[in-house]
Amino acid sequence: MRIAIFSAKNYERTLLDELNATHHHDIVYFETLLEPDTASLSAGFPAVSVFVNDIVDGDVLGQLAAGGTKLVATRSTGFNHIDLEAAKKLGVTVVRVANYSPNSVAEFAVGLILVLNRKIHRAYNRTREGNFELDGLMGFDLVGRTVAVIGTGKIGTIFARIMAGFGCKVIGFDKYRSPEFERIGGRYVEAEEIEDADIISLHCPLTPETYHIVSARTLNRLKRGALLINTSRGGLVDTEAAIEALKSGQLGGMAIDVYEQEAGLFFKDLSSTVIPDDVIQRLVSFPNVIVTGHQAFFTREALGTILETTLASVSDFAEGRPLTNEITM
């Protein structure tokens, strides 16, 4: 089957070409994002593969369907960038990567905590300039601290297990309870108890219900000096409110691998340009903020599973087999 791969990166092309040896699809790579102005490139492709910052709204889906596209395969677990209702009306099937390597994201979140808390990023920059002073680099022991896990699915539960290994008290907030989370010592709480946490880590999907789950009201109720970690979706955090909380000292630090307006920034080299996004410019100016470019998933194991699952879904669709990773309303 012919597949148009949008937002294709070199590291994906190499691996996809290797994996495709067993699937035999006709793959065409497009480095550009899928959006209304580029959707015409998909004409004649029965299958289109997208990533998290591609725009797959009703307009784009209408163009895809008109061009003969029957399948959209997102190379991600989250699917908030796809209008499922429009896809259903147009008869376009949508599949995702339900499982890859939850360890990759969980481990990265832990890494962000260690770097942010112990100011490792600042120490690295200092010593490169010959400054070995310790002033301003003090952190706190993790043992005995309370860590709130917002979203206790596979990633959140693995993250909680690692933090429990540090000797942390782990509390969880999720509409669906995980027996595994409770087995490792996690305790489910109401929203009010999250206010007592020293660290809050987000591991839930972005839905209308979770949009700006971290708002000005949420931040004002947190323990003063708490750390906020987000490796899930940018829209979970009201970034402007977080900036105000950082300026006042209410928020002790923040590490984000995702950003609400990341589509025009992430996965691009903008080092030689003037970035017009004032919000991200303010964020990176804070000494107690770490911003990474949506790399939490980026391990050999995770990427290999993501791409193999995507190709396998296209093969199943082409052969009329059941789609285990289909997204339904």
> Do residues 299 and 7 lie in contact, with contact meaning Cβ atoms separated by under 8 Å?
no
Residues facing 289 on adjacent strands: 254
Cα distance between residue 226 and residue 254, in whole Å: 9
224 catalytic, yes or no? Answer: no
Which of the residues 145, 233, 260, 308 is marked catalytic? 233
Cα distance between residue 46 and residue 68, in whole Å: 6
The radius of gyration of the chain from alpha carbons, rounded to an integer in Å, stands at 21
294 catalytic, yes or no? Answer: yes
Q: Give the burial class of 277: count Cβ atoms within 10 A of its Cβ; 0-12 exposed, 13-18 middle, 19 or more buried.
A: middle
Cα distance between residue 263 and residue 268, in whole Å: 10
Cα distance between residue 193 and residue 171, in whole Å: 9
Which of the residues 75, 81, 203, 294 is marked catalytic? 294
Those residues with Cβ within 8 angstroms of residue 146's Cβ, 6 or more apart along the chain or in another chain: 168, 169, 170, 171, 196, 197, 198, 199
193 catalytic, yes or no? Answer: no
Looking at this protein, which amino acid is placed at residue 209? E
Catalytic residues: 233, 262, 294
